[in-house]
Amino acid sequence: MKALIIEKKDTKPVYHDAKVTDLPKPETLEENQALLEISAVSFNHRELWIRKGQYPGIVFGSIMGADGVGRIVDVKGGSKFKVGDRVVVNPSTGWIKDPRGPEEAYYILGGTHAGGVMAEYYVAPQEEIFKAPDHLTDAEAAALPLAGLTAYRAVFTKGQVAKGQNVLITGIGGGVALLALAFSVSAGANVYVSSSDEEKIQKAIRLGAKGGVNYKDEKWGDNLQKIAGGEFFDVVIDSAGGDAFKTYTKILRAGGIVATYGMATKPVIEVSMAAVLKNIELRGSTMGSRLEFEQMLDYVSKHKLRPVVSNVWQGLESADEAFEMMKSGKQFGKLVLSLKASSKL
């Protein structure tokens, strides 16, 4: 089978290879495993961090990718699944249900000790796969797992977003941010966004945001409060980190929450005494447990939500086009590879 692997390359600056290679197709299953024929996979920013050598626990030679959808072509034991079922894979292992954090050794799939899904076939333990929401195309289903899980935990478990609240989602062009927008809008919140790009703000408004500001404008905090009618914010769902926290402290109401799942600007947040005196809570947020993954899929099915897919390319060989797009930051939503041409179903 064809697979996309991470291969060490000694360049400066570091940029390891993402290489399509031939590997043996898995032939035998252990009890409780399922063999999936993968029909689509999607990228997350972490694949770029891995290529740049800026990600912990990289295992060279391993298959990349945490996000995939496929059909079951073989199954051993269990009664939950049958051949032909369309399933998505939980993008991490070792975190069952504890809302505080992983109970066991925790791995995100792809490029690490837990091999990834960017291959024509993938063997999964049955407890780590779930029926893909029926209303989604393969590209949309592939776009959902990691970004959906991260957004679900940041919005609901950590951000506690609820109806009528004012919510800011930063960097709306990102895959996670766009799903956070869908979750927050469907929960009845008044959602505002920030972006480096006016066109992305307009697209977010078409998806239900009330408005947005350009985070490159020094006065973005004032601009935001102006378009929100002078009101304070209840929650910020953040991927920027760095100095933006100073502005969050100003625009949040007392007891406001910042749920931070990434630090695109710099990997430090300074919490001032002003934030302490305002009872502001900074909550780190990551992907999530298997239970949250299942809850996220149920939520997406119930509200018929659709992840925004920016681009779909054909075949693993197109991976570099996705990496170039991610580097440029031009995408609005998720970057997907369709593997369907090789599908026998």
Q: Binding residues for ligand NAP, per CB under 6 A?
A: 44-46, 147, 150, 170-177, 194-197, 200, 215, 239-240, 261-262, 264-265, 286-287, 326, 329
256/251 Cα distance (integer angstroms): 9
Q: How far is the CB of 113 from ligand NAP (least distance, A)?
A: 17
Q: How far is the CB of 144 from ligand NAP (least distance, A)?
A: 13
Cβ-contact 162, 189 below 8 angstroms: yes
- Residues with Cβ < 8 Å from 303, sequence gap 6 or more? 186
Is 23 or 325 the residue whose CB approaches ligand NAP more closely?
A: 325
Is 286 or 343 the residue whose CB approaches ligand NAP more closely?
A: 286
Phi, psi of 300 (to 5 degrees): -65, -40
Is 176 or 235 the residue whose CB approaches ligand NAP more closely?
A: 176
Q: How far is the CB of 4 from ligand NAP (least distance, A)?
A: 17
Q: How far is the CB of 179 from ligand NAP (least distance, A)?
A: 9
Please report where in the chains the tokens 């002078």 appear, as a residue.
230
Q: How far is CA 233 from CA 202, 223, 317, in A?
A: 21, 13, 44
- Three state DSSP letters for 4-47: EEEECCCCCCCCCEEEEEECCCCCCCCCCEEEEEEEEEECCHHH
Q: How far is the CB of 239 from ligand NAP (least distance, A)?
A: 4
Is 44 or 311 the residue whose CB approaches ligand NAP more closely?
A: 44
Q: How far is the CB of 273 from ligand NAP (least distance, A)?
A: 24
Cβ-contact 7, 20 below 8 angstroms: no
Is 91 or 115 the residue whose CB approaches ligand NAP more closely?
A: 91
Beta bridge partners of 93: 107
Sheet holding 211-214, edge to edge: 211-214, 190-195, 166-169, 233-238, 252-260, 281-284
44/49 Cα distance (integer angstroms): 9
Is 45 or 131 the residue whose CB approaches ligand NAP more closely?
A: 45
Q: How far is the CB of 157 from ligand NAP (least distance, A)?
A: 12
Is 57 or 329 the residue whose CB approaches ligand NAP more closely?
A: 329
